[in-house]
Structure 1
């Protein structure tokens, strides 16, 4: 996997990679990670991937991280691990 660039963001660590004909966007928040894969054939270049990181998308990413944390905490409590 080839590192393309870090994408500055105040809340998340966002990295863009290229691998096997795809751009891979990794968004990290604490112990959680969301990964999105985009075929290089579907976009003109990596700038198109960056353009997709609009406010609506990042708001949904934020909500998804919150849901991931809720699910993780619930399974820990349900199984008496936490």
Structure 2
């Protein structure tokens, strides 16, 4: 796996990788991460990947991080951990 870029964002760490004919977009916030795989055949360059990371996509990803946190906390609470 080859790291191509760190893409700045105010709320999320974004790292772009190239691996096995795919771009991997890794989003990290605190203890949580989301990874999206995009075939290199579906885009013309890593610049297309940056275009995918538009405001609407990033707002949804940040909301998903909040849901991940809520789900994990609920599991801790249910199990008395």
Q: TM-score normalized by structure 2?
A: 0.98
The within-5 A match list for 1:52-63 is 52-63=52-63
Counterpart CA distance in 1 for 2:54 and 2:10 is 14
Query: 1:16, CA displacement in angstroms?
Result: 0.1
Runs of 4+ displaced beyond 4 Å: none
Q: TM-score normalized by structure 1?
A: 0.97
What is the match of residue 36 of structure 1? 36
Q: Deviations over 1:52-75 (max 9, x none)?
A: 111110010011000000000000
**Which runs of no fewer than 5 residues in structure 1 stay unpaired?**
none
CA-based RMSD: 0.4
